[in-house]
């Protein structure tokens, strides 16, 4: 500290001596120093402003709803076979609660569809885990690299509930992939049991629950009732009976497992009005199970069948 003061005094005296002998040069040095100081301050201010604006442009995916996001979606509970009068092509459906984005003061759009599906599975087992509890569970080191159905299997297992994990069209070293014909048979066997449970499916981009099936006589088509959590804020608050069932619809699969329809509409001709309650329209159009390899998206799925008995 003493040395610093001595150095400061030395430079101060030197400058005064220089200024007394060269007043014009001293004035130029003073002006240049002032300009340089102003430039440094401007750079620091701009850097700080840029940092603030970048942070505000990327809000957290999980967080409390803002004042503009107060219209919440509420979970809808369906009793067993309650989908029959709503969707005539679904003959067997399980009891389930339809969960979606923007429930419980949480703005979670983006990548939490798997957690909403896990909520549906755990509700069915009377575990009733909160969304925060699920987020904490999925953040653990032993869980954060797993897909949604694998995490769900672990949660159910820890609560004494068995389940079976399958991989559709996934080429893994440890297991042989299931193909669509076998998947179709497994779904029929599952939903024809006395107390079927929702089946969770996840392709790495979108997660859903299958909550019912229909298999018309004399046709190769197969119908699935889908619980889709990818819904917009306030989607279930709109007026009209259709709004009550936002996030639940049917799809039609052809003999090879290719998706052809959503409800009664061709999959590539869905109207903007029909798609408007959903965060990403592609979530309604990525439900094929045929073994595609040469072109188009790969229909690779992880599937979890919870045991039917409690």
Q: With helix as H, strand as E and coil as C, how does 89-130 read?
A: CCCEECCEEECCCCCCCECCCCCCHHHHHHHHHHHHCCCCCC
pTM of the model: 0.73
| 185 C-beta neighbours (distance < 10 Å), count | 11
Q: What is the reported pLDDT for 279?
A: 87
For residues 59 and 189, the model is more confident at 189
pLDDT at 308 over 50: yes
Q: In a 10 Å sphere around its CB, with 0-12 CB exposed, 13-18 middle and 19+ buried, how is residue 60 labelled? A: exposed
The pLDDT, as a whole number, for residue 54 is 26
| 133 φ/ψ angles, rounded to the nearest 5 degrees | -65, -40
Token pair for 5: 């003061």
Q: What is d(CA 282, CA 308) in angstroms, rounded to the nearest whole number?
A: 31
What is the spatial distance between Cα 96 and Cα 198, in angstroms, rounded to a whole number? 7
- Say what the pLDDT of residue 263 is: 94
Read off the pLDDT of each residue in 259-274 and give the average, rounded to a whole number: 93
pLDDT at 81: 93
Which range has highest mean pLDDT (30-44, 57-71, 158-172)?
158-172
In terms of average pLDDT, the best of 7-16, 117-126, 263-272 is 263-272
Indicate the SS3 state at residue 214.
strand
pLDDT at 42 (0 to 100): 42
Q: Percentage helix, strand, coil, to 5, in the chain?
A: 35, 20, 45
d(Cα 129, Cα 158) in Å, to the nearest integer?
A: 13
3 pLDDT band (50/70/90 cuts)?
very low
Distance CA 31, CA 153 (A): 72
The angle at the Cα of 170, spanning 167 to 171, to the nearest 5 degrees, equals 125
Residue 47 CA to its chain's centroid (Å):
33
Beta strands 207-214 and 222-227, pairing class: antiparallel
């Amino acid at each position: 500290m003493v040395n610093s003061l001595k150095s400061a005094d030395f430079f101060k005296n030197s400058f005064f001596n220089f200024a007394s002998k060269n007043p014009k040069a001293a004035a130029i040095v003073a002006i240049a120093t002032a300009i340089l100081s102003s430039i440094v301050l401007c750079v620091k201010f701009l850097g700080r402003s840029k940092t603030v604006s970048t942070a505000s442009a990327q809000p957290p995916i999980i967080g409390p709803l803002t004042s503009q996001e107060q219209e919440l979606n509420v979970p809808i509970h369906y009793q067993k076979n309650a989908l029959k009068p709503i969707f005539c092509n679904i003959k067997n459906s399980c009891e389930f609660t339809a969960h979606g984005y923007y429930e419980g003061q949480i703005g979670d759009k983006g990548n939490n569809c798997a957690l909403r599906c896990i909520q549906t599975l755990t509700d069915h087992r009377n575990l009733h885990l909160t969304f925060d509890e699920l987020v904490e569970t999925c953040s653990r080191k032993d869980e954060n690299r797993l897909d949604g159905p694998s995490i769900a299997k672990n949660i159910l297992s820890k609560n004494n509930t068995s389940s079976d994990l399958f991989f559709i069209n996934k080429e893994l070293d440890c297991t042989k992939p299931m193909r669509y014909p076998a998947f179709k048979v497994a779904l029929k066997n599952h939903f024809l049991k006395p107390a079927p449970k929702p089946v969770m499916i996840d392709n790495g981009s979108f997660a859903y629950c299958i909550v019912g099936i229909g298999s018309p006589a004399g046709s190769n088509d197969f119908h699935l009732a889908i619980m889709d959590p990818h819904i917009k804020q306030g989607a279930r608050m709109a007026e009209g009976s259709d709004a009550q069932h936002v996030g639940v619809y049917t799809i039609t699969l052809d003999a090879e497992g290719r998706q052809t329809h959503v409800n009664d509409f061709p999959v590539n001709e869905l109207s903007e009005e029909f798609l408007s309650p959903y965060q990403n329209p592609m979530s309604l159009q990525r439900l094929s199970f045929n073994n595609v390899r040469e072109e188009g998206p790969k229909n690779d799925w992880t599937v979890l069948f919870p045991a039917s008995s409690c």
